[in-house]
Structure 1
Amino acid sequence: MTQATKRPNVIVFFTDQQRWDTSSLHGNPLQLTPNFDRFAQRGTHVTSMFTCQPVCGPARSIMQSGLYPTTTGCYRNNIPLPLETRTLAHAFKDAGYTTGYIGKWHLGSADPVVEDERGGYDYWLASNILEFTSRPYDTVVYNNENQAVKLPGYRVDAITDAAIRYVDQHQREPFFLFISQLEPHQQNQQDYFPAPDGYEERYRGAWMPPDLAALGGSAHQHLPGYFGQVKRVDEAFGRLLEAVKSLGMEDNTIILFTSDHGCHFKTRNSEYKRSCHESSIRVLAAFQGPGFHGGRRIEELVSLVDLPPTLIDAAGLPIPPAMQGNSLLKLIRNGEADWPQEVLIQVSESQVGRALRTKNWKYGVVAPDKNGWHDSHAEHYIETYLYDLEADPYELNNLAGKPAHREIAHGLKELLVSRMVEAGEKPCLITEPE
């Protein structure tokens, strides 16, 4: 079977904790992501991309299942994906694809991940929690036989090299490959962002996103290393693109680049994500390959839950009816017809929270008597956040409870409850702040 006649290959390059404004296409002046920028400009750039759960495990459950975390039950970290869950791997395997997973999983119960908890993937070279089994220059993952494998090189390069080897070895059959990087996530044990040797120094005293410049947090300490990680991630992504091109597979391979959530550098709570703010929920996304050529820009609001049905649809496969998102091919083929005008966000661990992101507004609520680790939902929430994103794009002026904005808040409250019910949650009560 030739590349021209077989079904398109599909590759997902999934980073961890990468903000949308690390790209020059979103105003970053540091040229951190020239490969992503060129990729997005040649293919289809999703300019307003949001996670619907800003924490690692739940976001990964969304990407594998096409379901909200409250549907699968994976509403926080350390809850394995239920064994009966149908994943992207199952959808592609049913269509004759071979499937591979390389990198961070975070949907199992322990390391190494037993076969039943691997989401149906054929080829396995991964860790459940990669930040615990590896260090920047000591990458340890597990193979199909659950044997520890040490990969050479800086961690993002080690994972990417393994992915390139997989692509090279599967040229003659349609494949679905999910590459899950850890970078630019922090190394938990030391709470720092370990860039490759020599990279952090490049960005000391460099430009800082306006929200971080205003709010501080740990950004002055951590941003140089974070930017160094982002730079190396982009270089690794460029090598993957070159490998696909050099093997003559470029015209028959769909590639998606995106991330699980962003990073607010301890400006919104005591850690890095788990909030409804743009710094936590907005990420990069772009596609290239069959159906996505031509320098197209999608400016509608897109949710992480929309990406699994998009990948399946783009490969010409039937979208599983249980999936809760929408295929972006609806926008590409039909324009704005019937596309949702807002994104639902579910927040766990730091709080039991819900938020709605529209084009111009952010509306967020928090359950006052629930624990974000023990409770997945609530019957009662209090309005906590309201931001005018047109006037205040960096969310520095919280308007929640302001009399002048009661009408706006009321309309957003009704819309939020409606979207929560649509996502499978029970109706709830939202009260105004005191």
Structure 2
Amino acid sequence: MTDRPNVLVFFTDQQRWDTTGVHGNPLGLTPHFDALAGRGADVHHSFTCQPVCAPARASLQTGLYPTSHGVYRNGIPLDPALPTLARQFAAGGYETGYIGKWHLHTDDCPGPVPPERRAGYDYWLAANLLEFTSDAYETTLYDNDGEPHTFDGYRADALGQAAIDFMTRDREKPYFLFLSFLEPHHQNQRDDYPAPEGYRERYDDGWVPGDLAALEGNWPEHLGGYYGMVRRIDEVLGRVLAAAGQDTIVLYTSDHGCHFRTRNREYKRSCHEASIRVPTVLAGPGVPTGRVDGLVSHVDLPPTLLDAAGLPVPPEWPGRSVLTGGSDDVLVQISESEVGRALRTRRWKYGVTAPEADAWDDSASLSYVETSLYDLDTDPHELDNLVEDPATEAVRAELRDRLLDRIEESGEKRPEIGPRAGSRP
């Protein structure tokens, strides 16, 4: 076995950043995550580059923005010819494995994923759409040959044990394992957040984030179950970390957040913090401890993993390693609910949308209009949209130029951004 460290990605689905103690949640849901942050790099300002499942997942596998890798919305399969994390780690002498939810094949294929559509992973125990091949206490995953395996117990426990079995077996090579949970995502068929038995009741009257408390949505019905799912995920994290040991590089992150229908008709697909900000920690040998300065995008995480493992980063990947610090702003692409773009800086959130574009069929536009501006210093819950305030004209002009630069740097053509219809000059 080489002296390279093992590498584990612990990946949750639809988890808000403020479910963690590190980010001020007072309910004690995440002691293992908080401890991991204490011994690693707390990526305190971490953001998805697209707040919906498949695009975010494809960016983590390829290091590219959705408009570059092509999976700009759900239901588009990942191009098998793209360089991926699995292929990079395999070339570096790693055994690669994937366990859990994939969601990078066609939506009419919820279960097995053909070998050529697995992005180069050697070991496979997964389902394309885990939310449709499982329930809270019924889990089915498919192996390398496409054969189904059923598991007893709570779904997150089953995936955690499968990961432990993979990590602790004898091997000649170091491993790179991508462990992808469904929790705390809702169970689609019945629009519910199925926590383990007895867990929902613990948190039904728990702390409510300020954005939810101020806005109408379905959080009063679902927040207790959501918190219960987060709590169980953290318990699984504790078991998985114990099996991995402290000589393993661990990345914990999520694909996007959850706003509980306060911003649109479902749970994400907006530029607000509840949709785009996620909990992220990197820990292990060679990783500096402490809070990462600056903002970090999902496209920064694949080069970070390769950098931490001492492997080369594909030159076409636009992100930068977190080991060198964060940035002053991040770009967010939005699909399905709108064709939108947003810039998140340390203080401001600036959003634009393309009113003439089709949010399902169009990945981008050459013409956007301003739709939102939030001062996060004075309005952290994004309740006061300043985009039509004449006093923000200079700020909007600066942010407009920065956003246009980021759009162009991401590989898109430079568009035009006009004022919101009816707004004052």
Question: Shorter-chain TM-score: which interval?
Answer: over 0.9
1:95 aligns with 2:101: no
1:79 aligns with 2:66: no
Secondary structure of the equivalent of 2:8? strand
Normalised TM-score (structure 1): 0.95
1:330 aligns with 2:304: no
User: Hey, what does 1:212 align to over in structure 2?
Assistant: 212
Give the Cα separation in 2 of the matches to 1:78 and 1:349: 11
User: Hey, what does 2:57 align to over in structure 1?
Assistant: 60
Residue 168 of structure 2 aligns to which amino acid in structure 1? D
Task: Report deviation, 1:340.
Answer: 3.0
Residue 83 of structure 2 aligns to which amino acid in structure 1? R
Give the Cα separation in 2 of the matches to 1:205 and 1:296: 33
Task: Report deviation, 1:105.
Answer: 0.5
Task: Choose which of 326, 345, 354 in structure 2 pairs with 1:358.
Answer: 345
User: Hey, what does 1:274 align to over in structure 2?
Assistant: 269
Q: Tell me the matched-pair count.
A: 418
User: Hey, what does 2:21 align to over in structure 1?
Assistant: 24
Give the Cα separation in 1 of the matches to 2:78 and 2:96: 18
Secondary structure of the equivalent of 2:98? strand
Verify the 8 A CA contact 1:51 1:345 in the aligned structure 2: yes
Task: Report deviation, 1:96.
Answer: 1.1
User: Hey, what does 1:335 align to over in structure 2?
Assistant: none
Give the Cα separation in 1 of the matches to 2:206 and 2:304: 37
Give the Cα separation in 1 of the matches to 2:88 and 2:168: 23
User: Hey, what does 1:336 align to over in structure 2?
Assistant: none
Deviations 1:273-314 (A, max 9, x none): 000000000000111111125x41113100010000000011
Verify the 8 A CA contact 2:142 2:149 in the aligned structure 1: yes
User: Hey, what does 1:340 align to over in structure 2?
Assistant: 327
Task: Report deviation, 1:235.
Answer: 0.3
Residue 308 of structure 1 aligns to which amino acid in structure 2? P
1:302 aligns with 2:299: no
Task: Report deviation, 1:329.
Answer: 1.9
Give the Cα separation in 1 of the matches to 2:205 and 2:7: 39
Task: Report deviation, 1:152.
Answer: 2.1
Task: Report deviation, 1:108.
Answer: 1.2
Of 12-21 and 167-176, deviating more is 167-176
Deviations 1:110-154 (A, max 9, x none): 231000000100000000010011111000110000011112220
Verify the 8 A CA contact 2:287 2:323 in the aligned structure 1: no
Give the Cα separation in 2 of the matches to 1:196 and 1:328: 34
Deviations 1:16-58 (A, max 9, x none): 0000000111111100000000110111111100001000000
Give the Cα separation in 2 of the matches to 1:226 and 1:42: 27
Give the Cα separation in 2 of the matches to 1:255 and 1:201: 31
Residue 287 of structure 1 aligns to which amino acid in structure 2? L
Secondary structure of the equivalent of 2:188? coil
Residue 392 of structure 1 aligns to which amino acid in structure 2? D
Secondary structure of the equivalent of 1:47? coil
Verify the 8 A CA contact 2:211 2:381 in the aligned structure 1: yes
Residue 365 of structure 1 aligns to which amino acid in structure 2? V
User: Hey, what does 1:288 align to over in structure 2?
Assistant: 283
Unaligned runs of 5+ in 1: 332-338
Of 106-115 and 228-237, deviating more is 106-115
Verify the 8 A CA contact 2:184 2:193 in the aligned structure 1: yes
Task: Report deviation, 1:172.
Answer: 4.1
Give the Cα separation in 1 of the matches to 2:327 and 2:22: 24
1:126 aligns with 2:126: yes
User: Hey, what does 1:69 align to over in structure 2?
Assistant: 66
Task: Report deviation, 1:173.
Answer: 2.0
Normalised TM-score (structure 2): 0.97
Residue 29 of structure 2 aligns to which amino acid in structure 1? L
Residue 73 of structure 2 aligns to which amino acid in structure 1? R
Give the Cα separation in 1 of the matches to 2:21 and 2:170: 34
Verify the 8 A CA contact 1:43 1:286 in the aligned structure 2: yes
User: Hey, what does 1:334 align to over in structure 2?
Assistant: none
Give the Cα separation in 2 of the matches to 1:281 and 1:140: 29
Secondary structure of the equivalent of 1:125? strand
From the superposition, tell whether residues 322 and 216 of structure 1 become closer, same or farther in structure 2 (CA, over 3 Å). Answer: same
Give the Cα separation in 1 of the matches to 2:80 and 2:291: 37
Deviations 1:67-111 (A, max 9, x none): 001001100001000011111000000111110000000011223
Verify the 8 A CA contact 1:420 1:426 in the aligned structure 2: yes
1:384 aligns with 2:378: no
Verify the 8 A CA contact 2:200 2:224 in the aligned structure 1: yes
Residue 263 of structure 2 aligns to which amino acid in structure 1? R
Verify the 8 A CA contact 2:257 2:275 in the aligned structure 1: yes
User: Hey, what does 1:116 align to over in structure 2?
Assistant: 116
Residue 57 of structure 1 aligns to which amino acid in structure 2? A
User: Hey, what does 2:253 align to over in structure 1?
Assistant: 258
Verify the 8 A CA contact 1:6 1:173 in the aligned structure 2: no
Q: How does 1:223-238 map to 2 (within 5 A)?
A: 223-238=223-238
Give the Cα separation in 2 of the matches to 1:429 and 1:401: 18
